[in-house]
């Protein structure tokens, strides 16, 4: 679940190494426009995770998606009361059931705390499950979610590939999700990222359905783009055993 990109813009002296390696490479593709501009070489592409998941023509309809899913990074401040009120109001407006999920093991405590606060169901990570089993479990949840709200990039990407409208509208989020989804021209995803809770706008059902139409169109395009990039790069090298996610 998720990708393994390097944060080049926070690499300090290593940024020069990345820049030199990119200039010597036959193909250098960065996951967002800010990184491309920072390194001054290569081109902007997409996170390969956008090419995974269910083909958009097979997504469940909005009316068959009863969930609003929340997933929070356990290494950031827990949201304030105003944010939780915003989440509950959104679920009420859309007539959705709240649930929380764990896509990275270290987020489990926050998922349980959020579920207790919301009176929601928590989809945790059983101790005997591996990454593939947890991904299958969560893709099922995202496939039944109309909206997924998170400050973790690859929660939002995975949810988007299953047709759940991704919102990075969490005060502690730092702009990473916005940059990656802007590359797919889904600008609404990061519009409220890092915004104080009391300044987050209320969303109507019409807003959300409009987001859903954009999502279907742009994710179809993204799958095509990632397939093209994979064909340029050639067969991938698979590295197993890494935990965590972005």
Look at residue 29 and tell me whether its pLDDT is greater than 70.
no
DSSP for 114-176, written as a single string: HHHHHT-EEE---TT--HHHHHHHHHHHHHTEEEEEES-HHHHHHHHHTTPEEE---TT--SH
Q: Tokens 């109001």 identify what position?
A: 89
**Looking at domain 59-220, which CATH architecture does it have?**
3-Layer(aba) Sandwich (3.40)
Q: How far is residue 164's CA from residue 150's CA, in Å, rounded to a whole number?
A: 12
Rounded to whole angstroms, the Cα distance separating 151 from 72 reads 6
The alpha carbons of the chain give a radius of gyration, in whole angstroms, of 18
Mean per-residue pLDDT over the chain, rounded: 86
80-89 pLDDT per residue, tens: 999 999 999 9
Pairing of strands 29-30, 97-101: unpaired
Query: Structure tokens of 94?
Result: 């859309």
Mean pLDDT lowest for which of 21-25, 147-151, 220-224?
Answer: 21-25
pTM score of the predicted model: 0.81
Quick one: which of 98, 106, 121 has its CA closest to 73? Answer: 106
Task: Report how far residue 30's alpha carbon sits from residue 42's, in angstroms, rounded to the nearest whole number.
Answer: 7
Q: pLDDT tens-digit profile of 65-79?
A: 999 999 999 999 999
Pairwise CA distance, residues 36 & 43, whole Å: 6
Contact present, 142 and 123 (Cβ < 8 Å):
no
Of the candidates 75, 69, 113, 111, the residue with the CA atom closest to the CA atom of residue 94:
69
Read off the pLDDT band of 17 (50, 70, 90). Answer: low
CB within 8 A of 176, min separation 6: which ones? 153, 246
Taking only the tens place, the pLDDT of each residue in 197-239 is 999 999 999 999 999 999 999 999 999 999 887 776 766 555 4
pLDDT band at 4 (very low <50, low <70, confident <90, very high): very low
Which residue ranges make up each domain of the chain? 59-220
pLDDT value at position 171?
97
Closest alpha carbon to 87 in 200, 208, 195, 206? 200
């Amino acid at each position: 679940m998720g990708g393994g990109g390097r944060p080049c813009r926070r690499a300090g002296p290593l940024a020069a190494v990345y820049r030199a390696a990119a200039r010597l490479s036959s193909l250098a593709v960065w996951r967002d426009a800010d990184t491309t501009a920072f390194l001054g070489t290569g081109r902007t592409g997409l996170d390969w995770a956008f090419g995974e998941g269910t083909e958009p023509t097979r997504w469940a309809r909005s009316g068959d998606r009863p969930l609003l899913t929340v997933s929070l990074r356990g290494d950031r401040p827990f949201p304030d009361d105003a944010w939780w009120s915003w989440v509950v109001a959104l679920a009420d407006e859309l007539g959705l059931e709240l649930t929380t999920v764990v896509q990275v093991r270290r987020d489990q405590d926050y998922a349980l705390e959020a579920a207790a606060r919301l009176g929601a169901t928590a989809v945790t990570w059983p101790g005997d499950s591996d990454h593939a089993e947890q991904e299958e479990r969560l893709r099922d949840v995202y496939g039944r979610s109309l909206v997924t709200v998170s400050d973790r990039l690859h929660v939002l990407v995975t949810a988007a590939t299953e047709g759940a409208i991704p919102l990075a509208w969490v005060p502690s989020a730092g702009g990473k999700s916005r940059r990656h989804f802007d590359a797919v021209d889904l600008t609404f995803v990061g519009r409220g990222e890092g915004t104080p809770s009391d300044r987050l706008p209320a969303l109507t059902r019409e807003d959300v359905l409009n987001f859903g139409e954009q999502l279907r169109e742009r994710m179809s395009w993204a799958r095509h783009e990632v397939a093209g990039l994979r064909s340029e790069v050639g067969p991938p090298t698979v590295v197993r055993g890494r935990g965590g996610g972005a």
